[in-house]
């Protein structure tokens, strides 16, 4: 029987001691002394800066190259990422790219959810499961001077941002230890486990509207405290898209921040999956689940034929609509044809009608 890899002492101490302080010293300080409103505001701002540095920076910018950012934005996200204390950009992105390439593989996925909640949440960082770092999948990042500066000076940046900065801020507002506990320790613990929940819960809890080829899930509740990262099934299916929440009502502050950067020309090259591909993936999953439901209930072949026929009708109508829309978008203002617009509206109406019939058939199946 193989023994477990040795503990990574520094990680174990950081995670355990900060968590212990967050659930004991921080509440005790609040009861005995209390916290200034400025302290709580500062803790929230640091938490948001760290969180968005991980999601907009480590994740969507550097791991997936979903957009390009101005050096000023990169420095802002690199410093905030160091404060989040989740390793350097280079190391984090390398692990994450490996996760996407080998998702759910117990041997190659660094934080495979198939090894259980504890392992994917935090256990994989407590022992030396990975061996020596291998950055061959991140050679592009090794050419980025900002990334490499942060990588080389990571320990110093961690010390400055996590110890010196909270203490100095606390001194300025007259609440040194309260600020250190809330804006330093509690903020760090909240930041850690928010990110870790994407590796663990987002592969266990939620829906799979786009693909069931891997364990990722969409979960709007997780998105609320992970800066929009909860739409994880979408992300694993379309990993290079700069968005995670694609609907207007999806809570995705990371998307909003990137859009703000782009508006002020601090970001460009935002990569976006065509809507047709997204809707086709959803439709295919709906067909797959409906077919499985019909077979599980022992329904007649007629049901399967109806499902297939209605699916094909929606798919064809969808293809025709998006092709016409794409053609219209390519036309210049001078070339715009009123009849083409009218035709597009007609196709959209037909698509909606087909989708309604598809929804009705699936509801009949569920009630059968």
At 169, is the pLDDT very low, low, confident or very high (cuts 50, 70, 90)? very high
Assess whether 264 and 286 both reside in one domain: no
Assess whether 86 and 170 both reside in one domain: yes
**What are the Cα distances from residue 38, in Å, to 45, 89, 173, 174, 176?**
10, 30, 7, 10, 12
What digits encode the pLDDT tens for the residues 103-153?
Answer: 999 999 999 999 999 999 999 999 999 889 999 999 999 999 999 999 999
How much is the pLDDT for 314?
A: 92
Assess whether 163 and 311 both reside in one domain: no
Is 114 a member of any domain? yes
Last residue of some domain: 268, 296, 330?
A: 268
**What are the Cα distances from residue 116, in Å, to 70, 124, 187, 203?**
39, 10, 26, 10
What digits encode the pLDDT tens for the residues 39-69?
Answer: 999 999 999 999 999 999 999 999 999 999 9
Is 194 a member of any domain? yes
DSSP state, residue 106: T
How much is the pLDDT for 66?
A: 98
At 86, is the pLDDT very low, low, confident or very high (cuts 50, 70, 90)? very high
Assess whether 131 and 105 both reside in one domain: yes
Assess whether 180 and 307 both reside in one domain: no
For the entire predicted model, the pTM comes to 0.93
Report the pLDDT averaged over residues 14-23: 97
Annotate 12-25 with b (16+ C-beta within 10 A) or e (fewer): eebbeebbebbeee
User: How far apart (Å, rounded) are the C-alpha atoms in residues 51 and 194?
Assistant: 8
> How many residues in total does the chain contain?
368
What digits encode the pLDDT tens for the residues 209-247?
Answer: 999 999 999 999 999 999 999 999 999 999 999 999 999
At 30, is the pLDDT very low, low, confident or very high (cuts 50, 70, 90)? very high
Last residue of some domain: 246, 268, 290?
A: 268
User: How far apart (Å, rounded) are the C-alpha atoms in residues 61 and 183?
Assistant: 26
Axis crossing angle, helix 37-52 with helix 253-263, rounded to the nearest 10: 80
How much is the pLDDT for 145?
A: 98
Sign of the CA dihedral 300, 303, 305, 308?
negative
Annotate 205-225 with b (16+ C-beta within 10 A) or e (fewer): bbebbbbeebbbbbbbebbee
Sign of the CA dihedral 255, 278, 271, 80?
positive
Is 2 a member of any domain? no
**Residue 127 DSSP SS3:** strand
Report the pLDDT averaged over residues 28-35: 96
Is 321 a member of any domain? yes
Assess whether 238 and 165 both reside in one domain: yes
How much is the pLDDT for 152?
A: 98
Tally the domains of the chain.
2
**Residue 16 DSSP SS3:** helix
What is the average pLDDT score of the chain?
94
How much is the pLDDT for 336?
A: 65
Assess whether 218 and 247 both reside in one domain: yes
How much is the pLDDT for 334?
A: 58
CA angle 28, 31, 34 (to 5 degrees): 105
The residues that bridge with 127 in the sheet, in sequence order, are 7
Is 1 a member of any domain? no
Assess whether 244 and 306 both reside in one domain: no
How much is the pLDDT for 60?
A: 98
Assess whether 84 and 186 both reside in one domain: yes
User: How far apart (Å, rounded) are the C-alpha atoms in residues 343 and 22?
Assistant: 61
How much is the pLDDT for 335?
A: 63
Assess whether 117 and 139 both reside in one domain: yes
Domain range enclosing 139: 9-268
DSSP state, residue 218: B
Assess whether 128 and 221 both reside in one domain: yes
Last residue of some domain: 238, 253, 268?
A: 268
Which tops the pLDDT comparison, 5 or 29? 29
The residues that bridge with 267 in the sheet, in sequence order, are 69
User: How far apart (Å, rounded) are the C-alpha atoms in residues 262 and 33?
Assistant: 44
Query: What is the separation, in whole angstroms, between the first and last Cα of the chain?
Result: 51
Is 330 a member of any domain? yes
Q: Are 122 and 15 in contact (CB under 8 A)?
A: yes
What digits encode the pLDDT tens for the residues 264-320?
Answer: 999 999 999 999 999 999 999 999 999 999 888 888 888 889 999 999 999 999 999
User: How far apart (Å, rounded) are the C-alpha atoms in residues 46 and 182?
Assistant: 10
Chain Cα centroid distance, residue 49:
16
Assess whether 226 and 285 both reside in one domain: no
User: How far apart (Å, rounded) are the C-alpha atoms in residues 17 and 37?
Assistant: 26
Is 27 a member of any domain? yes
Chain Cα centroid distance, residue 139:
23
How buried is residue 66: exposed, middle or buried, by Cβ count under 10 Å (0-12/13-18/19+)?
buried
Q: Are 216 and 235 in contact (CB under 8 A)?
A: yes
67 — phi, psi (to 5°)? -160, 170
How much is the pLDDT for 1?
A: 46
> What are 54's two structure tokens?
């991980």
């Amino acid at each position: 029987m193989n023994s477990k890899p040795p503990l990574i002492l520094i990680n174990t101490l950081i995670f355990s001691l900060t968590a212990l302080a967050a659930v004991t010293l921080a509440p005790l300080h609040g009861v005995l002394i209390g916290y200034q409103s400025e302290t709580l505001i500062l803790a929230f701002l640091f938490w948001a800066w760290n969180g968005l540095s991980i999601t907009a920076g480590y994740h969507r910018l550097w791991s997936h190259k979903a957009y390009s950012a101005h050096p000023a934005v990169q420095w802002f996200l690199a410093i905030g990422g160091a404060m989040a204390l989740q390793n350097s950009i280079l190391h984090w992105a390398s692990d994450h790219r490996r996760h996407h390439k080998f998702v759910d593989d117990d041997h190659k996925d660094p934080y495979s959810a198939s090894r259980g909640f504890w392992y994917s949440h935090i256990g994989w960082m407590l022992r030396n499961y990975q061996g020596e770092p291998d950055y061959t999948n991140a050679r592009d990042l090794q050419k980025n001077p900002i990334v490499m500066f942060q990588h080389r000076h990571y320990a110093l940046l961690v010390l400055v941002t996590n110890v010196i900065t909270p203490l100095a801020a606390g001194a300025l507002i007259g609440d040194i230890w309260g600020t250190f506990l809330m804006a330093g320790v509690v903020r760090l613990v909240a930041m850690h486990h928010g990110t870790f929940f994407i590796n663990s819960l987002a592969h266990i809890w939620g829906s799979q509207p786009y693909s069931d080829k891997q364990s990722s899930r969409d979960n709007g509740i997780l998105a609320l405290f992970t800066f929009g990262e909860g739409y994880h099934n979408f992300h694993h299916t379309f990993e290079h898209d700069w968005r995670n929440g694609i609907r207007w009502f999806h809570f995705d502050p990371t998307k909003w921040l990137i859009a703000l950067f782009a508006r002020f020309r601090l970001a460009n090259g935002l990569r976006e999956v065509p809507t047709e591909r997204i809707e086709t993936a959803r439709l295919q999953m709906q067909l797959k689940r409906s077919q499985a439901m019909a077979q599980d209930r022992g329904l007649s072949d007629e049901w399967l034929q109806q499902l297939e026929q209605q699916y094909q009708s929606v798919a064809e109508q969808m293809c025709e609509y998006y092709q016409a829309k794409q053609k219209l978008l390519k036309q210049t203002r001078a070339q715009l044809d009123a009849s083409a617009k009218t035709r597009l509206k007609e196709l959209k109406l037909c698509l909606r009608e087909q989708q309604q019939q598809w929804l009705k058939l699936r509801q009949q199946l569920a009630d059968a």
